[in-house]
């Protein structure tokens, strides 16, 4: 028996991150690992393409979705903000209907707090405090 081996396997946890910013992605990954990485075997999945996000939700058991909505790419990416925000709301609604999981929204745009009304679990203003995100994640896991 190896020293320090507890004998218990860690539970798998799949996290989808959609930010389209490598620095933010790295900070989110570090924060999640610090929050729950010792208790879970965390796998990270990254996408900012709306079609790919929906496909992954259908094919992988996503357990947590961290979303920066202003960075999602839609098939018609030249649409005005109002239409784009409508698309984000529809995406969050569909994701919540596929799987009842925590959806944490990170945004610089205060009006995107409205995503809470269509299924998002948390809204955190960006730039975000990693401790706030860590606390939020720990409240679910």
Q: What is the pLDDT of residue 28?
A: 94
Contacts of 43 (CB under 8 A, 6+ apart): 12, 13, 14, 15
Q: Does residue 79 carry a pLDDT above 90? A: no
Distances (CA, A) of 50 to 45, 58, 61, 105, 131: 14, 13, 17, 15, 28
DSSP 139: H
Average pLDDT over residues 42-62: 90
Average pLDDT over residues 2-24: 78
Q: Does residue 3 carry a pLDDT above 50? A: no
pLDDT confidence band for 2 (50 / 70 / 90)? very low
Average pLDDT over residues 106-114: 88
Lowest mean pLDDT of 5-9, 31-35, 83-87, name the range.
5-9
Q: What is the pLDDT of residue 72?
A: 79
Q: Which CATH architecture has domain 11-140?
A: 3-Layer(aba) Sandwich (3.40)
Q: Does residue 6 carry a pLDDT above 60? A: no
Average pLDDT over residues 8-33: 91
Per-domain residue ranges of the chain: 11-140
Instruction: Please state the pTM of the whole predicted model.
Output: 0.84
């Amino acid at each position: 028996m190896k020293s320090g081996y507890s004998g218990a396997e860690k539970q798998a946890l799949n996290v989808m991150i959609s930010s389209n910013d490598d620095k933010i992605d790295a900070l989110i990954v570090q924060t999640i690992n610090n929050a729950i990485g010792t208790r879970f075997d965390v796998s990270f999945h990254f996408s900012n393409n709306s079609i790919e996000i929906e496909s992954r939700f259908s094919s992988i058991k996503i357990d947590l979705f961290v979303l920066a909505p202003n960075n999602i790419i839609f098939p018609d990416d030249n649409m005005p903000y109002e239409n784009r925000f409508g698309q984000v709301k529809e995406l969050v609604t569909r994701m919540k209907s596929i799987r009842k999981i925590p959806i944490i929204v990170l945004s610089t745009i205060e009006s995107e707090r409205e995503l809470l009304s269509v299924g998002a679990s948390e809204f955190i203003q960006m730039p975000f405090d990693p401790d706030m995100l860590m606390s939020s994640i720990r409240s679910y896991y």
